[in-house]
Chain A
Amino acid sequence: KAGVTQTPRYLIKTRGQQVTLSCSPISGHRSVSWYQQTPGQGLQFLFEYFSETQRNKGNFPGRFSGRQFSNSRSEMNVSTLELGDSALYLCASSLEGGGGPTGELFFGEGSRLTVL
């Protein structure tokens, strides 16, 4: 069974640009969550999508957005990039969501974004 696939793995952007990251969940998983990982803040929850609907959202500005398609693949977009957006963005999928009793989270290897 293929794992969670994230593309691209590495990318470099400049301030003010926008970026789109993609996540293909494990086959059959309907929930996709996104996390931002930085050395200073650790892992911070961005949002979760379930059956094409955003079900949960973290405390990030509106520049961060996402969506989920009917095949459960998900994308996240960051507009007007700032230096502080440099981070590893991790996607995780699960059957029903959350990572707790409703289902284990399976993580991809992440997309490392560098903003210059």
Chain B
Amino acid sequence: AQSVTQLDSQVPVFEEAPVELRCNYSSSVSVYLFWYVQYPNQGLQLLLKYLSGSTLVKGINGFEAEFNKSQTSFHLRKPSVHISDTAEYFCAVSRVQGGSEKLVFGKGTKLTVNP
């Protein structure tokens, strides 16, 4: 069964600093990986996804992630964060069950960007 582990529950950083949010997955089959962001009092929004092809995936708002099959990781990075990036970030893997897909989410990482 596929599962997702987000190694840090909270990550505080200063504005304009780089950030990396870590995600590891477990799966015995091909995987499709995602990062979603949730701003306060809002639903989730897709940041980026890896389905196949290039292992470096670029998303919205300057975020990117690298799929590393040997380390079963899909870490999210941004070279310079803004106050507006303060949010909770969820890593997810797509799992096929009962003939259809569903997303299995990690427990989330709260990113706080301080001035």
Residues of A at the B interface (CB closer than 8 Å) are: 4, 33, 35, 41-43, 45, 48, 50, 55-58, 90, 92, 97-102, 104-105, 107-110
Interface residues in B, total, Cβ within 8 A: 26
Query: Could you tell me if B46 and A101 are in contact, using CB atoms closer than 8 angstroms?
Result: no
B103, closest chain A residue (CB) = A99
By DSSP majority rule, is chain B's interface helix, strand, loop, or mixed? strand
User: Are A99 and B43 also in contact (CB < 8 A) when A33-B102, A55-B100 are?
Assistant: no
Point out the residue from B32, B51, B102, B106 that lies within 8 Å of A42, measured CB to CB: B106
Partner of B108, one of A33, A42, A48, A100: A42
A98-B94, A100-B94 known; A108 vs B43 contact (CB < 8 Å): yes
B interface residues, Cβ below 8 angstroms from A: 32, 34, 36, 41-46, 49, 51, 90, 92, 94, 97-108
Q: Could you say which residues of chain B place their CB within 8 Å of the CB of A43?
A: 44, 90, 105, 108
Query: With A104-B46, A105-B46 in contact, do A48 and B102 touch (Cβ < 8 Å)?
Result: yes
